[in-house]
């Protein structure tokens, strides 16, 4: 039926609208990127849909109906859903697999990176430099759409992405699993060249406007700054992440230091 069909917008995202199609997509186990619901909708069908979303631990955003009507001219029935272009992976599975394969885990944690092109560029560099996964929050992060996949040069089809409900709890898990937590920030006192990237670690990169949030800064084992000599005091987040990842690659490519006493 025309009102319920899936369609691609200009960015190539897969959109589903209509209460029944969205419900069927959720119950079929589709990877849901985000859902917009008319904040004023109180129908019995909408209440049923919200309960289905709760049962599947899927968040939604309530918006004015005008926003939905801007997204599609079709009869959206007060709900629009975007299907993710990738499948997400459990962070626990990524860490355990890395250890089981004899690797040294390296995860990139993105603290509310909202620009899809920055996200795609980070994914591309992370894959090239051997990162095991990218960790993002379940809400407030850049949408993984066609632009993100294109900017990543296909890396988002290769490197696992872990979407988590709580970045804080994830960092606690990573620390308990033996990973050192670094945060990239201009407030850092430790030079990134002096960090121990040879050991298992996770690197937190902050949002484009405010950087790493204070709560996550307090959870980090070390705050790292990238040494700069120019007059501009900061770098684009994707560039900064690339510089840190290359330092990780450099350190891990060096021959091991001779053991003491030999």
pLDDT in tens, 90-118: 999 999 999 999 999 999 999 999 999 99
Q: Which of 255, 238, 211, 208 is CA-nearest to residue 134?
A: 238
Mean pLDDT calculated for residue range 236-256: 93
What is the fold of 2-83? 60s Ribosomal Protein L30; Chain: A; (3.30.1330)
Look at domain 91-253 and name its CATH class: alpha beta
pLDDT at 65 over 90: yes
In Å, what is the CA distance from 172 to each residue of 73, 105, 195, 203, 249?
Answer: 45, 15, 20, 13, 25
The chain-wide mean pLDDT, for the chain, equals: 90
Instruction: Tell me the whole-structure pTM to 2 decimals.
Output: 0.81
- Cα(87)–Cα(31) distance, integer angstroms: 6
pLDDT at 173 over 90: yes
Lowest mean pLDDT among 49-53, 101-105, 144-148: 144-148
Residue 2 confidence (pLDDT): 37
Mean pLDDT calculated for residue range 45-69: 94
Domain locations along the chain? 2-83, 91-253
């Amino acid at each position: 039926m025309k009102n319920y069909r899936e369609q691609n917008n200009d960015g190539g995202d897969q959109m589903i609208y209509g209460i029944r199609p969205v419900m069927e997509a959720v119950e079929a186990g589709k990877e849901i990127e985000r859902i917009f619901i008319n904040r004023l909708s109180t129908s019995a069908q909408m209440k049923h849909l919200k309960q289905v979303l709760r049962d599947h631990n899927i968040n939604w955003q309530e918006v004015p109906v005008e926003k939905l009507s801007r997204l599609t001219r079709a009869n959206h029935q007060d709900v629009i859903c975007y299907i993710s272009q990738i499948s997400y992976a459990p962070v626990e599975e990524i860490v355990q697999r890395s250890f089981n394969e004899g690797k040294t885990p390296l995860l990139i944690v993105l603290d509310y990176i909202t620009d899809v092109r920055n996200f795609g560029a980070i994914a591309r560099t992370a894959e090239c430099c051997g990162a095991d996964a990218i960790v993002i929050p379940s809400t407030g992060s850049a949408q993984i759409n066609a632009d993100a996949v294109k900017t990543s040069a296909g890396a988002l089809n290769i490197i696992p992405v872990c979407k988590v409900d709580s970045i804080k709890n994830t960092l606690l898990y990573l620390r308990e699993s033996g990973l050192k937590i670094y945060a990239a920030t201009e407030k850092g006192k430790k030079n990134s060249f002096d960090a121990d990237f040879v050991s298992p670690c996770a690197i937190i990169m902050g949002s484009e406007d405010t950087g790493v949030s204070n709560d996550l800064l307090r959870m980090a084992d070390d705050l790292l700054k990238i040494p700069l000599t120019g007059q501009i005091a900061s770098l684009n987040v994707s560039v900064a992440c690339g510089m840190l990842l290359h330092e990780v690659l450099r350190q891990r490519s060096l021959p091991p230091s001779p053991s003491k006493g030999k």
